[in-house]
């Protein structure tokens, strides 16, 4: 079982560039989510999805887009990167009453 | 509305002494509760979970937590701290009733545990 797979592990962008963080899970989880983690602020929810074709905003959605065309995949898009988006990003998934299963994270630096 | 409060942002203990990390929650429903651990530059790993079965929950690495509904608490404990326990710990509340309509999971802001040799 691969669990939750995030790619890439590290990324450096210049201000204004766009990119997509990939997230895939092989556990048939209907719930998927993206968090960012910044020092002293814990994990903050960016976007989440309760099933294919359904997405919604979390606490800090500005500057990010998501889509959920399949159960397995939940990519996070940065349309025009800003230094404030420098962070560690985690994808997580769950099903029913199971706990969240996390990916290993993507460390993003925007210069 | 659901929320989670971790009462200490930093806890420091000596190796071999007990660990207590405090978590209080508010929930409109019967919640599921979790503790996660994050070692430096790593992802989040599940330590233990409470899902309406026994109120005393045992997890990995000797950790346990007790669900106290009357106090709305879910404190994490370990009898004897080890150097390898130094990490960030997160308390999480899940509202399964929101599964099909909204966000389910609410995170505390974390407690950083330091273990002094």
Q: Each residue of A13-61: pLDDT tens digit?
A: 999 999 999 999 999 999 999 999 998 788 999 999 999 999 999 999 9
B50 closest CA partner among B69, B22, B26, B71 = B69
Nearest to B108 among A35, A42, A56 (CB): A42
Residues contacting residue B82 through CB under 8 Å, at least 6 positions apart: B15, B61, B115
B110/A42 CB distance under 8 A? yes
For residue A102, count other CB atoms closer than 10 A to its CB.
23
Q: How far is A9 from chain B (nearest CA, A)?
A: 11
A56/B102 CB distance under 8 A? yes
Q: What is the pLDDT of residue A37?
A: 95
Residues contacting residue A97 through CB under 8 Å, at least 6 positions apart: B32, B51, B94, B96
Residue A26's Cα: distance from chain center in Å? 16
Summarised one tens digit per residue, pLDDT across range B22-81 is 999 987 777 889 999 999 888 999 999 998 778 899 999 999 999 998 899 999 999 999
């Amino acid at each position: 079982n691969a669990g939750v797979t995030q790619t890439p592990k590290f990324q450096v962008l210049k201000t204004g560039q766009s990119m997509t963080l990939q997230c895939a899970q092989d556990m048939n989880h209907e719930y998927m989510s993206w968090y960012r983690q910044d020092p002293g602020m814990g994990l903050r929810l960016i976007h989440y999805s309760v099933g294919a074709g359904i997405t919604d905003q979390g606490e800090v959605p500005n500057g990010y887009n998501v889509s959920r065309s399949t159960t397995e995949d939940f990519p996070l898009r940065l349309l025009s990167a800003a230094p404030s988006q420098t962070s560690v990003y985690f994808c997580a998934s769950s099903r029913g009453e199971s706990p969240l299963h996390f990916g290993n994270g993507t460390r993003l630096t925007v210069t | 509305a659901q929320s989670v409060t971790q009462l200490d942002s930093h806890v420091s203990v000596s190796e071999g002494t007990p660990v207590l990390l405090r978590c209080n929650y508010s929930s409109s429903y019967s919640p599921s509760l979790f503790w996660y651990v994050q070692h430096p530059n790593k992802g989040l790993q599940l330590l233990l979970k409470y899902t309406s079965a026994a109120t005393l929950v045992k997890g990995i690495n000797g950790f346990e937590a007790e669900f106290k509904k009357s106090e709305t608490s879910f404190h994490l404990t370990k009898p004897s701290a080890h150097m390898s326990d130094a990490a960030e710990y997160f308390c999480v509340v899940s509202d399964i009733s929101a599964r099909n309509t909204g966000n389910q999971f609410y995170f505390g802001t974390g407690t950083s545990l330091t273990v002094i040799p």
